[in-house]
Homo-oligomer: A and B are copies of this chain.
Amino acid sequence: MENTNTLTEYLTERQKFVNDEITNLIKQMDAPLQLKDSMLYSMEAGGKRLRPILMMASCESYGGNYKSVMTIAVALEMIHTYSLIHDDLPAMDDDNFRRGKPTNHRKFDEATAILAGDGLLTHSFTVISEDNQLTSDQKVFLIQELANASGPTGMVAGQILDIEGEKVETSLEDLEEIHLLKTGQLIKFAIVSGAYIGGASTHQLESINDFAYYLGLIFQVQDDILDVSGDQELMGKPVGSDENNFKSTYPKLLGLEGAIEQKEKYVQKAKEALKSAGIKNSLLEELTDYLSNRDY
């Protein structure tokens, strides 16, 4: 890491950068007030900005300037946020709180929450198509990757499999497939698009793709572990919420110890993939350890 002393400082600085860009991009939108408020509410609800940070780090790992992926990072955060808004709806997970604050449909109403989600999803494509730092070829590559990662063969597929999985027994294989779609695809987009804009070669893009695959799984298994053993205060949601329904999780399938072991396996694989990805600094390796050990 060049300009910061510790990973925590790096994360804080980058989060602030992303937050400013988010506020800026939504405030300049010429949308009806209630809709704008609702979109801004969820976008500003204080997430970790994990996906934008991974994208910036991946870009830097190939010698790129992190500012050149800023707009793409916000577009991705819009997609992530829309998926949370729709996921929280009464017909889906029916959650009243997220990150310690009322969910969008509780703060506003269901119709507004549905439309805010639709609005953020659609606007992410506006934002990329209007980024004048990018060439048309780059825009098309990014839009195609983002739509595939988040659409009915990506994240949306993961969502429906997750809902169906709550009704039946799930194997470790099924669980991995659901997570690779539901959360893994957007993490993969973050890593791959960062590397792409950072100047990675086609071969490097393939290797970094393998890394992204394991990073997505690490993220999810740690999420499941925290749901069993985490600190409610830090996480802003009730511990054990997955236990109250039939949702499959790593600890349920493998036990808590087994889940931790499984995570360590993924971490090893992720680091091996990083080695062959021709990367110039240790940022992504540090972020892997950070994500694997995060406590919220």
Residues in A lying within 8 Å of B, measured CB to CB: 29-32, 34-36, 39, 82, 86, 89, 91-92, 105, 109-112, 114-115, 117-123, 125-126, 129-130, 135-137, 139-140, 143-144, 146-148, 150-153, 156-157, 159-161, 163-164
Contacts and interface: CB of A to CB of B under 8 A. Distances in A.
Nearest to A150: B122
Contacts of A159: 115
Contacts of A123: 147, 151-152
Contacts of A147: 122-123, 125-126, 129
Given A118-B86, A157-B35, A160-B32, A126 B140 contact: no
Interface centre among A91, A137, A150, A163, by most chain B C-beta atoms within 10 angstroms, is: A91
Nearest to A148: B126
A291 B88 CA distance: 40
Nearest to A110: B91
A32 B182 CA distance: 13
Copies in the complex: 2
Given A92-B114, A140-B136, A119 B32 contact: no
A152 B31 contact: yes
Given A129-B144, A136-B139, 4 more contacts: A32-B164, A91-B111, A118-B118, A118-B121
Given A140-B139, A147-B122, A29 B112 contact: no
14 contacts: A29-B153, A31-B156, A31-B157, A32-B160, A32-B164, A39-B152, A82-B118, A92-B111, A117-B118, A126-B144, A129-B140, A135-B136, A139-B143, A140-B140
A147 B91 CA distance: 26
A126 to B, nearest CB: 4
